[in-house]
Chains A and B, each alone.
Chain A
Amino acid sequence: MRTLKFLLEKEFRQIFRNKSLLPILFVLPMVQLLIMPLAADFDIKDIRVAIVDNDHSSYSRRLTEKIGASGYFHIEGFAASYAEALRLVGTGSADIILEIPPQFARNLVKEGDQKVYLAADAINGMKGSLGASYLTAVLTDFNNDIRVEWMQPQKMEPQPTIEIVQENWFNPSMNYPFFMVPGILVILVTMVAGFIAALNIVQEKEIGTIEQINVTPIKKWQFILGKLIPFWLIGMIDFTIGLLIARLVYGIVPVGHIGTLYLFLSVYLVALLGFGLLVSTYSDNQLQAMFVAFFFIMIFILMSGLFTPVENMPGWAKVISHMTPVTYFIEVMRMIVLKGSDFGDIRTPFLIVLGFAVLLNAWAIFNYRKTS
């Protein structure tokens, strides 16, 4: 116990004396939390539409105005022909083409039926498909408007239609920061715990001080605890600051119990520190550790469901996704912070992450040898 006290004293002194490490530990994550959610916004606004109006009737003008007024579209220009509109897409100044055929109004009035042509630039698949579906929604709406106008004077029974009304639960205004901030916070804690711990131990190897430690009676578990505890605490502090920023800047107040959140975090940090420790036992220098940790953390993040829903991944990717602790924490974060889930709801991910913690640390301790 006394040995551990000396180890901790030394670690804290070194951490707080390291002028380049402190900003990395405390300032960088916070800056990222302030910037990333703004950038990682999947809400599509300002879709640029090029309109080819071959009709020039009052109906076609009404449709155009409706599109412009929806808030999601920006009418980039009116093209004389489809080919000209396509050139606008080609130069990147328009995302969607809406072609209104000649005789649009006439056919609409006479035959009660008219098709319009819609083409979307799908290089950015998300923007293309969302834009097209928004535009379809506007068209449907337009369709309903004119139907109402025509049916009413005839006093006929309206045709039965099913209207779908959507309500978004847990994030009613579909606010992206609500969705992204808890996830990004997980990533930040992951980086601090996974990277810094790995680099720190490898640094001792590189300088050669670990050899001096290895000839002292310091036990393996003492040395490892001496390394884990400081970074565990830093992870906790970073997370707390992150939660405060989420509250003050993004107005996110966890709906669920904060104790449950911290309980999960404390185990999660042990798992991630175990990962860092494991990387350090396999690396001889900081460069090596950096690349190995970077490789895995990239996979962790991309497979974690932060950016793309895990449910949409192919089977093999789902398997990988479920083999990374990050996936579980992002899931649990969103459950507790946005939905207000309690411990009963997160029991399974909790036990899985506990398993990760035990496995990774046991492996690391096994692999760290005082005698080669």
Chain B
Amino acid sequence: MTDKAIVCKDLCKQFGDFTAVNRISFDVNKGEIYGFLGANGAGKTTAMRMLCGLSYPTSGEATVAGYNVYRQQEAIKRNIGYMSQKFSLYENLTVRENIRFYGGVYGLSDSQLKEKGVELIERLGLGKEMNKLVGELPLGWKQKLAFSVAIIHQPTIVFLDEPTGGVDPVTRRQFWDLIYHAADQGITIFVTTHYMDEAEYCHRLSIMVDGRIDALDTPAELKRKYSARTMDEVFYALARGAKRSAD
């Protein structure tokens, strides 16, 4: 129990007679980088929102950081970080003000805020831009900043929903350096992506098709199982059978 960051069993989410997430089961180990793959509309975001306590499951069981997703959402929210597809920092606040705000609402003390702020700005090399409005930063920097802010309170798990969408390859690479750095500090990473090269960076990953998890293993094992040379081919083999149209 203690070495699992997320335990998920037969989790379902139904919108009317549409089953967005259909009985998915998986575990995520502590400190693991877990890739959560799937085509558009496969149900990734819905599943992630349930785990973050943003949405009630229709049925099934799940615990996140040891807390129940039905009853202990507030406890979950204290122990996770979340970075959504939509950019979610305040564009009309400066870099420093955003850090202060999110750090503050996660209950960091004044000295922690100062210390974390300096450390974060230094690691991202944002020294000069510290007092710039976030809206003026290029997208790649915004994403890196959003990630750093999402883990400012040292959460047990951080959920990343397509964090590198629309970002150039160099910045993506830097972004994954940040992810590895966070994983080294013991933060469990739960990440969705559409880039198959990024899938290779994950310790383990699952692929969702039409609301179900059709495959779950290490990248190497998946490639062997589907006798594919790259993750791309694995993904094609699975997602080709999808019935749902993209969202």
Contacts and interface: CB of A to CB of B under 8 A. Distances in A.
Interface of A: 2-3, 5-7, 9-10, 13-14, 17-18, 207-209, 211-212, 214-219, 370-372
A10 B54 contact: no
B125 interface: no
A218 B89 CA distance: 16
A217 B84 contact: no
Contact of A370 (B54, B82, B89): B54
Contacts of A10: 90, 93, 97, 101
Contact of A3 (B52, B73, B88, B107): B107
A7 to B, nearest CB: 7
Interface of B: 52-56, 73-74, 77-78, 80, 82, 84, 86-93, 97, 100-102, 104-107
B92 A216 contact: no
A370 B77 CA distance: 11
A3 B101 contact: no
Q: Closest 5 A-B residue pairs measured CB to CB?
A: A208-B86, A6-B104, A212-B88, A215-B82, A217-B78
A6 B153 CA distance: 15
A209 B88 CA distance: 5
A371 B90 contact: no
Contacts of B102: 212, 216
Contacts of A219: 74
Contact of A215 (B77, B91, B101, B104): B77
Contacts of B90: 10, 14, 209
A134 to B, nearest CB: 57
A6 B102 CA distance: 8
B106 A216 contact: yes
5 contacts: A6-B100, A6-B101, A13-B93, A215-B82, A216-B77
A6 B101 CA distance: 6
A371 B51 CA distance: 11
B84 A208 contact: yes
Given A10-B93, A14-B93, A370-B54, A211 B86 contact: yes
A217 B74 contact: yes
A166 to B, nearest CB: 58
Contacts of A7: 105
Contacts of B84: 208, 211-212
A215 B52 contact: yes
Given A7-B105, A217-B77, A371 B55 contact: yes
Contacts of A370: 53-54, 73
B77 A2 contact: no
A79 to B, nearest CB: 66
Q: Is the interface of A mostly helix, strand, loop or mixed?
A: helix
A216 B54 contact: no
Contacts of A3: 104-105, 107
Nearest to B149: A212
Contacts of A9: 100-101, 104
Nearest to B74: A217
A218 B102 CA distance: 10
Given A7-B105, A10-B97, A371 B88 contact: no
Contacts of B52: 215
Nearest to A4: B105
A7 B97 CA distance: 11
Given A208-B84, A216-B77, 20 more contacts: A5-B104, A9-B104, A10-B97, A10-B101, A13-B93, A13-B97, A207-B91, A208-B86, A208-B87, A208-B88, A209-B88, A209-B89, A212-B84, A215-B52, A215-B77, A215-B80, A217-B105, A370-B53, A371-B54, A371-B56
A218 B77 CA distance: 9
A131 B74 CA distance: 69
Nearest to A5: B104
B62 to A, nearest CB: 14
Contacts of A209: 88-90
A211 B54 contact: yes
A217 B54 contact: no
B106 A17 contact: no
B217 to A, nearest CB: 29
A13 B91 CA distance: 12
A216 B105 contact: yes
Among B54, B90, B100, B105, max chain A CB count under 10 A is at B105
A368 to B, nearest CB: 13
A2 B82 contact: no
Contact of A372 (B54, B77, B80, B107): B54
Contacts of B92: 14, 17-18
Contacts of A6: 100-101, 104-105
A21 to B, nearest CB: 10
